[in-house]
Each structure stands twice: as C-alpha cells, then as structure tokens.
C-alpha cells in the first residue's frame, strides 16, 4: 500500500469515527429529551392531583432535598428533575463530543469543548456566589 | 387547573406556530406568559429558555444523527454564544424590566418586518424529512465552495463541510456572542441572527446553517437557563405545562406543517406580532 493510500484509509477511518460520534450524540439528545418530557409530564400530573395552580409560585431549586422530595412524590421535584434533564441534554452532548475529540487527538476541538464547559461552569459558580 | 390547561394549550399553539413559521418558540412564549398570564418578564424568559432547549434538542438530535448539522462549526461558535449567554444572563437581573420589554418589542417588530418582507426568517426544516445521507452541498452558497482546501489545512478547512468552505470566522465570533446575549436577555433561540450569519456571512448552505443553528440553541440557552434557575428566575409550575405544550406543538407542527397554507398564517402572525409589540411598548410607557 502506498503512502497516499495509507493516508486516505486513515482519513476514512477517522471520518467514519466522527460520523459514528455524531450519531451517538444525536441519539443522546433525543433520548434525554424524551426522558425530560416524561419527568415533566409526571410533575404536571402530580400538580393536577395535588390541585396546585401554576400561578401559585413554584419552589426554588434545592438539590439537597431533591431526592427526598422525589420519594415523597412532590410535583416540584419531578419538574425540577425534568428541567435539569432538559439543560443536561446539550451539556451532555458537549461532553460526549469532547471525549470523541480526545480519542481523535483533535486538540483544538477538545479545547473548544472544554472552553464551552468552563463558560457554563463560570456562569453557575458566579450565580451561586451572587445569590449566596 | 384551568390556568395550567390554558398554559399547556398556549404552549401547544406557540410550539406549533413557531415550528410552522420557522421561529423558535421564544418569541411567542414570552409574550404569551407576560401578556396572557401576567408573569414577570424575567420569569417568562426563564421558562422560554427551557422550552427552546427542549425543542432544539429533539430536532438537533435528528440533524446530528443524519449528519446535516456541522458539529465542528456549531461547537466553535457555541463557545462564543455561551459566553454571550453568560453575559446576557448575568446582566438580565440588573436591568429594569421595562428596558427588557422595550428590547423585546423591538425584536417582535423586527421579526414581523422580516416575515412580511421575505417570508419566514428561519426556514422550516422538518427533521423527519431530512435525508439519511450527509448534507448536500450548495455550490452557490460560497464563492470559495469549489476551492481546494489549503495545504497545510487551516482552522477554516477543519470547520468547512462537503462542498462549501467557511469564511469570515471573525465576524461569526462577534455576531455569535451578540446572539448569545440576545438569547439570554430575551429568552429566544437566536436562529434569526445565527442562520443569516452562517448562510450569508460565512458561506454555509442554508440547510446546514439552519440545522447547525438549531443545535447551537441548546447550549446557548442552557448556559443562561442555569443562571435563571439559580437566581430564582425559573418557575417550575409555569415551566412544566408550558414546556410540554411547546414540545407537543413543535412536534405536531413539524409533522403536519406541509398541509398548512402558510401564506395566511404568516399574515396573521405579522398582525399578532405587531399587536403584541404595541402591547409591550404600552407596558414600557405605563
């Protein structure tokens, strides 16, 4: 096999892996979206069962009590978990992409992926600090 | 319970109309919640962000599975839309709500004008009608479309796709940051900014630009939605029924959109948007 053929076959294998990663990321997004819709639907059904009006003002997010509230079938807990799943879908997509880029030794795209996650983390930390 | 049902139905309508007219739901959900249910603008923006993430994730998943979206370009621009969203999300809690309402009214008038002049601002792209094959190149999309990649490959080569070459990355970065700020301040997906940016300024084929913009909405809105949630600007009791409604409406809109006569719907929409903008402006004055 000539050097050119070797380079071409390496590139084709690399492209195939990139396409497979895109497919995986796509499936992840769809899957998590449906999970989040399911959680929100449970929350809304529980809201109706408990006769909670949407305009009564929902409780703020409290991660420390979320587990216990879920066990107690609190509507807000399912709604918050659904919201977190909604937000987690695109963030999970970036994480999966970062892993794929690391495997491909695509350092620039890996740096960009990490940069996105860093920006989101800064937003969360600064908001928590400000509200505290 | 009646209010919850109305929010669900309103969400269905916003999702369906948004999908049919190629708009993200945000431009419809915020006025629905503020003018229809009396929600403070900031809380409406928080709910809207959740809705646009949900609809964009489902559609973007399909686009990525079928290799229509340009993941590398999208992620590169996302770094800047997320930065813009971080700025916008933080600033949103410092601004007077009347100023936000004024900005939203201006946005509505711009969308209405764009729609009236040139049809839909962001073309409808039904994920289910997308081919399984990789995105078709559009030769006329870029004057450098047929140009061979440079040797050694540059950053732009790496961001380009089959049959087109990305250009004007610097402009893309600046405008993407602005789109992120607008998204976080007003609760919109920002496709109205990103699609023309990628298509006209950066030489990306329209189909790819639409799919890539859709994918980018998720991370942009997620960055600011978390800020809204932590600041108490996200009411889950409102977001639950509205988001489910939007998801149902957007899904139905993308499946049955081809059966709807869009001309009259668009006209109706322009009227509704102008009316809503006036209502928003009246609130600013009041």
ipTM: 0.86
DSSP symbol at B154:
-
Distance CA B122, CA B114 (A): 10
- Predicted pLDDT at B87: 93
CA distances (Å), B4 to each of A46, A88, A112, in order? 12, 25, 41
User: Closest chain A residue to B247 measured between Cα atoms?
Assistant: A37
**Best of A123, A124, A125, A132 to disrupt the B interface by mutation (most B CBs within 10 Å)?**
A123
Mean predicted confidence (pLDDT) in A78-100: 93
A31 pLDDT above the threshold of 70: yes
Distance CA B14, CA B200 (A): 28
Q: In this prediction, what percent of chain B has a pLDDT beyond 70? A: 85
Distance CA A68, CA B113 (A): 50
Provide the pLDDT confidence category of residue B46 given band limits of 50, 70 and 90. very high
**Is residue B89 within 8 angstroms of chain A, CB to CB?**
yes
Q: Read off the pLDDT of residues B6-30 as tens digits, 9 standing for 90 and up.
A: 999 998 988 887 777 767 677 888 8
| CA terminus-to-terminus distance, chain A | 64
A128 pLDDT above the threshold of 70: yes
Average pLDDT of chain B?
A: 82
**Best of A14, A59, A110, A119 to disrupt the B interface by mutation (most B CBs within 10 Å)?**
A119
Distance CA A31, CA A29 (A): 6
Cβ–Cβ below 8 Å for B57 and A26 = no
Nearest to B22 by CA among B123, B147, B140: B123
**Who has greater pLDDT, B92 or A113?**
A113
Q: In this prediction, what percent of chain A has a pLDDT beyond 70? A: 92
Q: Read off the pLDDT of residues B233-251 as tens digits, 9 standing for 90 and up.
A: 899 999 999 999 999 988 8
- Predicted pLDDT at B264: 75
Contact residues, chain A, for B128 at CB < 8 Å: none
DSSP symbol at B146:
T
My answer on whether omega of the bond before B152 falls inside 30° of 0, hence cis, is yes
- Predicted pLDDT at A46: 95
Alpha helices by DSSP H, listed for chain B, are 2-21, 26-31, 37, 41-65, 71-92, 97-118, 155-159, 169-186, 191-196, 206-230, 236-256, 262-285
- Predicted pLDDT at A3: 58
Nearest to B86 by CA among B223, B179, B229, B185: B223
Considering the entire predicted model, what is its pTM? 0.85
- Predicted pLDDT at B219: 92
Mean predicted confidence (pLDDT) in A79-96: 94
Distance CA B62, CA B48 (A): 22
Mean predicted confidence (pLDDT) in B222-241: 92
Distance CA B56, CA A90 (A): 9
- Closest partner residue to B230 among A29, A93, A128, by Cβ? A128
CB B31 within 8 A of CB B173: no
Find the range with the poorest average confidence among B60-69, B130-139, B184-193: B130-139
Q: Which residues pair with B161 in a beta bridge?
A: B164
**Who has greater pLDDT, B262 or B27?**
B27
Cβ–Cβ below 8 Å for A119 and B223 = yes
A37 pLDDT above the threshold of 60: yes
- Predicted pLDDT at B283: 81
Provide the pLDDT confidence category of residue B151 given band limits of 50, 70 and 90. low
Question: How far is C-alpha B231 from the geometric centre of its chain's CA atoms?
Answer: 23
B138 pLDDT above the threshold of 70: no
Cβ–Cβ below 8 Å for B53 and A53 = no
B153 pLDDT above the threshold of 70: no
- Predicted pLDDT at B141: 41
B138, HSE (Cβ side, Cα atoms, 13 Å): 14
- Predicted pLDDT at B24: 67
Rg (CA), chain A: 21
- Predicted pLDDT at B169: 92
Alpha helices by DSSP H, listed for chain A, are 3-49, 63-71, 75-103, 107-131
**Is residue A70 within 8 angstroms of chain B, CB to CB?**
no
CB B161 within 8 A of CB B72: no
- Predicted pLDDT at B15: 84
- Predicted pLDDT at B222: 93
């Amino acid at each position: 096999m000539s050097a050119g053929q070797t380079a071409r076959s390496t590139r084709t294998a690399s492209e195939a892996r990139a396409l497979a990663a895109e497919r995986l990321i796509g499936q992840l997004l769809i899957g998590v979206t449906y999970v989040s819709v399911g959680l929100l639907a449970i929350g809304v059904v529980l809201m109706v069962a408990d006769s909670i009006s949407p305009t009564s003002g929902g409780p703020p997010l409290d991660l420390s009590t979320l587990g216990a509230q879920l066990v107690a079938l609190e509507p807000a807990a399912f709604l918050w978990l659904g919201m977190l799943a909604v937000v987690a879908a695109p963030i999970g997509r970036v994480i999966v992409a970062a892993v794929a880029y690391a495997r491909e030794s695509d350092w620039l795209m890996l740096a960009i992926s990490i940069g996105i996650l860093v920006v989101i983390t800064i937003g969360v930390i600064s908001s928590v600090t400000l509200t505290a | 319970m009646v209010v919850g049902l109305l929010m669900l139905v309103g969400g269905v309508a916003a999702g369906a109309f948004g999908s049919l007219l190629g708009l993200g739901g945000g431009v419809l959900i915020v006025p629905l919640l503020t003018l229809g249910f009396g929600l403070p603008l900031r809380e409406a923006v928080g709910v809207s962000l959740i809705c646009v993430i949900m609809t964009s994730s489902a559609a973007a998943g399909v686009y990525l599975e079928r290799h229509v979206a340009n993941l590398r370009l999208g992620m590169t621009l996302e770094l800047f839309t997320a930065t813009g969203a971080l700025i916008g999300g933080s600033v949103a809690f410092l601004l007077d709500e009347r100023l936000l309402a004024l900005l939203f009214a201006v946005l509505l008038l711009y969308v209405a004008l764009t729609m009236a002049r040139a049809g839909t601002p962001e073309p409808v792209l039904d994920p289910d009608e997308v081919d399984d094959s990789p995105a078709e190149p559009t030769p006329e999309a870029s004057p450098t479309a047929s140009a061979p990649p440079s040797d050694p490959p540059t950053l732009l080569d790496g961001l380009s796709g089959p049959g087109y070459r990305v250009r004007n990355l610097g402009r893309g970065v600046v405008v993407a940051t602005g789109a992120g700020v607008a998204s976080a301040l007003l609760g919109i997906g920002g496709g109205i900014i990103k699609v023309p940016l990628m298509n006209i300024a950066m030489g990306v084929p329209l189909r790819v630009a639409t799919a890539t913009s859709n994918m980018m909405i998720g991370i942009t809105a997620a960055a600011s939605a978390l800020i809204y949630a932590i600041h108490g600007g996200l009411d889950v009791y409102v977001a639950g029924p509205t988001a489910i409604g939007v998801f149902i409406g957007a899904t139905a809109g993308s499946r049955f959109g081809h059966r709807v006569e869009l001309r009259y719907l668009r006209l109706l929409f322009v009227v509704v948007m102008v009316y809503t903008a006036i209502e928003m402006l009246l609130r600013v004055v009041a």
